[in-house]
């Protein structure tokens, strides 16, 4: 099959960038989307042109490295699928596809379809971990964890940090990502002592990164390759409001841990 691609090319973070059209000729419907881009890139290299830069790693939908917009949908049209899992049989011969990087102030474009997702890091750094000193670990069976809590924590922890939620959100909000982490840790017993500080600090970090606010549209949930739902956002909202009315501790910063 043949496909026409309109791809965003940008030389580096300071360049202007523009769309360039490429033809993917004679590609097999069994190919994954990234394999198709590999083929296009081989051709470009052969013509001494710069290949399209895009992030990728595991090629199996677990590492969160890959991701861009295909015709306005993050990770392409198939639900619960990353671009590396997307196969060309999803498209028809002759389709025109527009490829754009994640667009958000908090995700500056580095090159072509590659963006800087350090903002996510900084949100986690604000509290997405357990600081209670482990000391001598007691028998794991001594702290029983209800199965339903664990299962829900799993669903939340499944977030791979790809950023599709931010990209798809009309407000470029990072609520689903933050909610996933807050919920995961907030559901486990070891996460309880710091639950209030964690949510306050992480939400403050999220706002500092200049993501937008949530208007409950649900676009994030629709594109999340791990199918994380906005029920976790409700959890996050609940946790933040509850934390705001409880005892106050000054937020953790790099200067005063």
Interface of this chain with other proteins, residues 179 to 208, rule: CB under 8 A? 181, 184-185, 188, 190-191, 203-204, 206-207
Report the alpha-carbon distance of residue 184 to residue 101 in Å, rounded.
Answer: 28
Report the alpha-carbon distance of residue 151 to residue 135 in Å, rounded.
Answer: 27
Looking at residues 201 to 240 of the shown chain, list those that interact with other proteins (rule: CB under 8 A): 203-204, 206-207, 210-219, 221-223, 230-231, 233-240
Output 23 or 210, the one with its CB closest to other proteins: 210
Report the alpha-carbon distance of residue 136 to residue 33 in Å, rounded.
Answer: 48
20 near other proteins, judged by CB under 8 A? no
Which strands form 73-74's sheet, in the order they lie side by side?
Answer: 18-24, 3-9, 96-100, 69-70, 73-74
Q: How far is the CB of 27 from other proteins (least distance, A)?
A: 15
Bridge partner residues of 73 (DSSP)? 70
Output 24 or 84, the one with its CB closest to other proteins: 84
Site string for other proteins, 89-128 (x = CB under 8 A): x--------x-x--xxxx---xx--x--x---x--xx--x
Looking at residues 127 to 166 of the shown chain, list those that interact with other proteins (rule: CB under 8 A): 128-132, 134, 137-141, 144-147, 150, 153-154, 157-158, 160-161
Q: How far is the CB of 23 from other proteins (least distance, A)?
A: 19
Looking at residues 51 to 90 of the shown chain, list those that interact with other proteins (rule: CB under 8 A): 51, 53, 56-65, 69, 71-73, 80-81, 85, 87, 89
Among the listed residues 199, 202, 214, 210, the one whose alpha carbon sits nearest the alpha carbon of residue 245: 199
Q: Select the residue interacting with other proteins from 21, 170, 193, 246 (CB under 8 A).
A: 170
Element at 23 (helix H, strand E): strand 18-24
Output 24 or 120, the one with its CB closest to other proteins: 120
The site for other proteins, by CB under 8 A, has a size of 109
Output 24 or 187, the one with its CB closest to other proteins: 187
Q: Select the residue interacting with other proteins from 20, 21, 25, 45 (CB under 8 A).
A: 45
Q: How far is the CB of 206 from other proteins (least distance, A)?
A: 8
Please state whether beta strands 114-115 and 96-100 pair in parallel, antiparallel, or not at all (unpaired): unpaired
Torsion of the alpha carbons at 88, 91, 97 and 100, rounded to the nearest 10? -60
């Amino acid at each position: 099959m043949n496909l026409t691609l309109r791809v965003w090319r940008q030389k580096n973070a300071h360049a202007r960038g523009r769309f360039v059209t490429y033809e993917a000729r004679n590609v097999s419907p069994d190919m994954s989307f990234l394999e198709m881009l590999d083929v296009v890139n081989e051709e470009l290299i052969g013509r001494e042109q710069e290949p399209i830069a895009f992030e990728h790693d595991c090629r199996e939908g677990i590492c969160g490295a890959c991701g861009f917009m295909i015709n306005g949908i993050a990770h392409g049209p198939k639900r619960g699928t990353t671009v590396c899992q997307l196969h060309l049989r999803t498209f028809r011969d002759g389709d025109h596809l527009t490829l754009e990087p994640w667009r958000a102030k908090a995700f500056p474009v580095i090159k072509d379809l590659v963006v800087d997702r350090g903002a996510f890091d900084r949100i986690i750094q604000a509290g997405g971990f357990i600081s209670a000193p482990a000391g001598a670990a007691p028998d794991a069976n001594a702290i029983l964890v209800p199965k339903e809590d664990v299962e829900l924590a799993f669903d939340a922890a499944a977030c791979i940090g790809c950023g599709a939620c931010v990209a798809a959100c009309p407000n470029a909000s990072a609520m689903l990502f933050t909610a996933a982490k807050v919920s995961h840790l907030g559901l486990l017993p070891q996460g309880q002592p710091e639950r209030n500080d964690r949510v306050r600090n992480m939400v403050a970090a999220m706002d500092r990164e200049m993501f937008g606010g949530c208007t409950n549209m649900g676009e994030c949930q629709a594109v999340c390759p791990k199918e994380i739902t906005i029920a976790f956002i409700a959890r996050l909202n609940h946790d933040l409001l509850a934390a705001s009315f409880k005892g106050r501790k000054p937020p953790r910063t790099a200067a005063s841990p």
